Amino acid sequence: MTQGVLSLDNRLGLDKYEIDEQSHISIEHSRCANCGLKPCLTVCPAAVYVWVEDKVAIRYENCLECGTCTIACEGGGNGGITWHPPQGGFGIVFRYG
Amino acid sequence: MDEFDVVIVGAGPAGATAAYLCANAGLSVVVIERGQQPGSKNVSGGLIYAQIYDEIFPNFWKDAPVERTITGHSVVFLGDTAATALDYRAEASAPHYNAFSVLRAKFDPWLAAQAEAAGAMVMPGFTVDELIVENGRVCGVKAGGDELRAQVVVVAEGTRSQLLKQAGLREAYSPKDVSIGIKEIIQLPEQTITDRFQCLSADEGAAYTLVGHTGGVQGGGFIYSNRDTLSLGVVAKIDSVYKSKKQPHEILDEFKSHPFVARLIHGGEVVEYSAQTVHRGGFHLIPQLYGDGYVVAGSAARLLLNNVMTLRGMDVAVASAAAAAKAVIEASGKGDFSAAGLASYEEYFKATSVYKDMQTFKNVYPLLENDRLFSTYPDMVCAIMEDMFSVQLQPGKKGYRALRDRMKDHDVSLLNLAKDVYQIGRGVAL
Ligand SMILES: Cc1cc2nc3c(=O)[nH]c(=O)nc-3n(C[C@H](O)[C@H](O)[C@H](O)COP(=O)(O)OP(=O)(O)OC[C@H]3O[C@@H](n4cnc5c(N)ncnc54)[C@H](O)[C@@H]3O)c2cc1C
Ligand code: SF4
Ligand code: SF4
């Protein structure tokens, strides 16, 4: 099956998650309005950030907890992301790592 | 509200090592880990360089869940469709066997179990929400609504080190100084991997570092052989990723589509997709490693060694944690956990071979910034090899002529080449 290219959703579907009811990511939307590059929209390996109706929407359930978005938003964006680790035991569960 | 000698945040290689050594010295130690189990949040390429592990956990490979002993190391330059490899093979002759491949979800629980056996308490499933700081001194952590007080906190929370930032104990990171690693685990039969990676038995494995063909981003790829899986990934500088406007999984797909890579993974099935940030490392980025009531070890202290050929974070984490533990144990003897009481951490760390290696490779950093290394040279090297190997209607060229012609094709001036050779020399060779 690997010979064909896997879609991102198929890839994320391979992973195990313990989904928390509450989002561990929040956005201060007023900052995004003044953010030229919007790196969050491209840099996330799980495409958690999407541009919907003039706003950044979050699909936090897919988060791989890599930390890229916060660094990209701080240094290349406008600091709109607040990211906390999910509460203990929740979120991504790597079986190989 | 318990009072411990040592509270450790994170059960990665750094946290587990510090816990093991402090508990062995008779201190009361608790390790708090946010994953369901140690390792369930952790991603790495997966090569552990064994020397320091062997020093602390003698003959660990007999017992620890390592995948394969790495006996082959290759650096491969990927051109558009061709590849040129520098292939090194050795016998897995003697302990400590230099390097092993590991899977973190299996290896980290073993390390944590060593700490537990030495008497440390490991608490998985709890996220530390903040450090408790009173009068400028770290005196414990808050986790899951509880406070845990300690004489000293070992911050070993990995690359993001959110807690240090919240407490104002570190500066913000720049997207230029951090990379994203995007990884897949690809399953293949054990025998197929043994054959394809040219190993004599299933105990042996090989590691490929690949330069080029990463969609114009600054970074490189890796493929490491495990028992019946491969660890495959691309590590790329964060700002170069968002400037490329390519999504990380697209960069990964481009890498996987290269014929050299495609041959190695042919017929395999992807079973996990993961990502993690990794500092780009560098001697000049080593921060202050301690303060009143705390020490920082491993990736939380940005400690990493990258010399293009190898990426070393896990042994660096262990070495720094061992130096930190030594200082903590001494501080406990003196009853002084102030910054002054913990300052010997720095001396101990500076005495390690890891620190000296970081110093030796301190000029690699500019090399990692050099776009030609990732985008131009790999293809140029392959083109020159093509000139050497292919027989065509036109008369062939000797080496220097081929080089000059290919430099022209690739827009590389003699001056640039000279500068780059100098940089490579300063970085990794001379
Ligand atoms: C793609 C990639 C490839 C790599 N390849 C290699 C390689 O081949 N060889 C090598 O040696 N190194 C490699 N590295 C680097 C290596 O992974 C790190 O240097 C190493 O894991 C650092 O160990 P650590 O103990 O400091 O941190 P980590 O291993 O990151 O451990 C930190 C721990 O703290 C926990 N934690 C974090 N925050 C909290 C909190 N608030 N509360 C409770 N727990 C918390 C985490 O869950 C984690 O278990 C690679 C890294 C990446 C991303
Ligand atoms: S990068 Fe940050 S500030 Fe910019 S759009 Fe994304 S979340 Fe908003
Ligand atoms: S932590 Fe990584 S996976 Fe999660 S939202 Fe940020 S960039 Fe995406």
| pLDDT tens digits along A34-87 | 999 999 999 999 999 999 999 999 999 999 999 999 999 999 999 999 999 999
Spatial distance between the Cα atoms of B234 and B229, rounded to a whole number of angstroms: 17
Q: How far is the CA of B27 from the centre of ligand 2 (A)?
A: 45
pLDDT score at B426: 81
Chain A residues whose CB is inside 8 A of the B257 CB are 5
Closest CA to B412 of B383, B369, B389: B383
pLDDT 10s digits, B4-26: 999 999 999 999 999 999 999 99
pLDDT 10s digits, B196-206: 999 999 999 99
pLDDT 10s digits, B254-277: 999 999 999 999 999 999 999 999
Are B255 and B213 in contact, with CB atoms under 8 Å apart?
Answer: yes
Q: What is the mean pLDDT of residues B387-405?
A: 80
pLDDT 10s digits, B24-65: 999 999 999 999 999 999 999 999 999 999 999 999 999 999
pLDDT at B398 over 80: no
The one-character DSSP state at B276 is E
Does the beta carbon of B341 sit less than 6 angstroms from any atom of ligand 1? no
Q: How far is the CA of B281 from the centre of ligand 2 (A)?
A: 26
- The helix (H) or strand (E) run that includes residue B207 is strand B204-211
Does B286 reach chain A within 8 Å, measured CB to CB? no
Q: What is the mean pLDDT of residues B306-310?
A: 85
Are B306 and B358 in contact, with CB atoms under 8 Å apart?
Answer: no
pLDDT at B146 over 80: yes
More confident residue, B99 or B363: B99
Closest CA to A68 of A50, A42, A33, A89: A42
More confident residue, B20 or B217: B20
pLDDT at B395 over 70: yes
Contact A71 B44 (CB under 8 A): no
Mutate to test the pocket of ligand 2, among A23, A42, A56 (most ligand atoms within 8 A of CB): A56
Q: How far is the CA of B247 from the centre of ligand 2 (A)?
A: 16
pLDDT score at A2: 45
pLDDT at B1 over 70: no
pLDDT score at B429: 74
Contact A66 B173 (CB under 8 A): no
Contact A89 B35 (CB under 8 A): yes
User: Average pLDDT over chain B, rounded to whole?
Assistant: 93
- Whose tokens are 């099935």? That residue is B269
Spell out which residues line ligand 3, taking CB within 6 angstroms: A 44-46, 48, 63-69
Q: Quick one: angle between helices B399-409 and B377-389, nearest 10? A: 140
pLDDT score at B397: 76
For ligand 1, atom 16, which residue shows the shortest CA distance? Answer: B313
- The helix (H) or strand (E) run that includes residue A57 is strand A55-58
pLDDT 10s digits, B335-359: 999 999 999 999 999 999 999 999 9
With CA atoms as reference, the chain B residue closest to A16 would be B272
Q: Helices in A35-91 by DSSP H: which ranges?
A: 40-43, 68-76
* 3-class state of residue A51 by DSSP: strand
- Give the number of the ligand closest to the Cα of residue A41: 2
pLDDT at A93 over 90: yes
Q: Quick one: angle between helices B13-24 and B104-117, nearest 10? A: 10
Q: How far is the CA of B9 from the centre of ligand 1 (A)?
A: 12
pLDDT score at B375: 83
Contact A67 B159 (CB under 8 A): yes
